[in-house]
Amino acid sequence: MPTERQQVSTQMDVSFFEAFQLPFMMRAFLTVAVLAVAAGVVGLGISFREMEFVSDGLVHAVFPGLVIGAMIGGTAGLLPGALGAALVAALVFTLLDRRGGAGSDAAIAVGLTGLFSLGIVLVSKQQGFVAQLQDLLFGHLLTVTEDQLWQILVVAILAIAVMLLTGRAQLFRAFDPVGFEAAGFKILRTDLALAAATALLVVAGVQALGVLMVVALLTVPMAVARLVTKKIAWLVPIAVLVPLVAGTFGLWLSFVWSVEYEVSVSPGALVVLLLVALYLVAVVFRLLVVRRGRVGSVHLDKLDEQETAGLA
């Protein structure tokens, strides 16, 4: 029986809005929307605490959990395996990060490479491991099932809930760690909450985008937001909008190229490339703003000098 995508392949003229009315495209779009909201909320804590490297370690640590879960329970075992590995890794990496210094970074680096290699070894023992490896690394955004969408939604809501419940503490911890401790707050509890939220976001995103692609979801949207604005109130909305735009057009491009030109392109990879493109645009925008500010400052200085000379 032909799949949804095969049924559509004969329809060469499908508009943008018609494409997203197709069931598999709508599920993919909803997946992107859910992950965009979660990435915007959790990414604020990751960016302010400069935990990009730790989040990268969490992503790689999830990989053997995915493989073990798939080996034991098939597709149904992916979520429990990833969740277990992510939470254990979150605890370990948080404790290592609290040590500070180059030693903790080296330990996290060793951990992420070792766990990732373990996942490769485990998946290589399975039949058809190349196809399985590709799905785990690069995801399958266009083939997300309704059950997987609900799983992603539940896990993403848990990640957002953790951040909302600890949001004030996370900001206080990020901007004034000494004052945070002096005020009697529990540093370890707050750090574990952020690590757990990050781990949950990783678990939510890895099923659709894959291990390698979810790293961009954790870091790029908030990086773009911080380049575009300095107002805290605008950071999360912009960080949500960025992956939503990249995801929408990434899905559309992969659909058009697949249906009209019969070119198979990974939608997850396209989404990440568009995220990177938006980041580069934000960098150029920031440079232009800084340059204009410097030119304006020089112009005002010259006016001040002329006025001072005139008064003299």
DSSP letters for 207-244: HHH-HHHHHHHHHHHHHHHHHH---HHHHHHHHHHHHH
**Any idea what DSSP says for residue 126?**
S
Q: Which two tokens stand for residue 15?
A: 């508009």
Per-residue model confidence (pLDDT) at position 135: 67
- Model pTM score: 0.79
Q: What is the pLDDT along the chain (312 residues), one digit of tens a residue?
A: 445 555 554 444 667 778 888 888 899 999 999 999 999 999 888 888 887 777 777 777 887 887 787 778 776 777 788 788 888 888 887 777 766 654 566 777 777 777 778 777 777 776 655 556 666 677 778 888 888 899 889 999 999 999 999 888 888 888 888 888 888 778 888 888 888 888 888 888 887 787 767 888 888 999 999 999 888 889 999 999 999 999 999 999 888 887 777 777 778 888 889 999 999 999 998 888 877 766 555 444 454 555 444 545
Q: How far apart are CA 112 and CA 52, in angstroms?
A: 13
Closest alpha carbon to 281 in 235, 223, 231: 223
Burial (Cβ within 10 Å: 0-12, 13-18, ≥19) of residue 109: middle
Per-residue model confidence (pLDDT) at position 276: 92
Per-residue model confidence (pLDDT) at position 283: 93
Could you tell me the domains of the chain?
A: 4-311 (1.10.3470.10)
What are phi and psi for residue 264, nearest 5 degrees?
Answer: -85, 115
Per-residue model confidence (pLDDT) at position 298: 46
Three-class secondary structure of residue 105 per DSSP: helix
Per-residue model confidence (pLDDT) at position 36: 93
How many of the other CB atoms lie within 10 Å of CB of 306? Answer: 10
What's the one-letter identity of residue 123? Answer: V
Per-residue model confidence (pLDDT) at position 227: 92
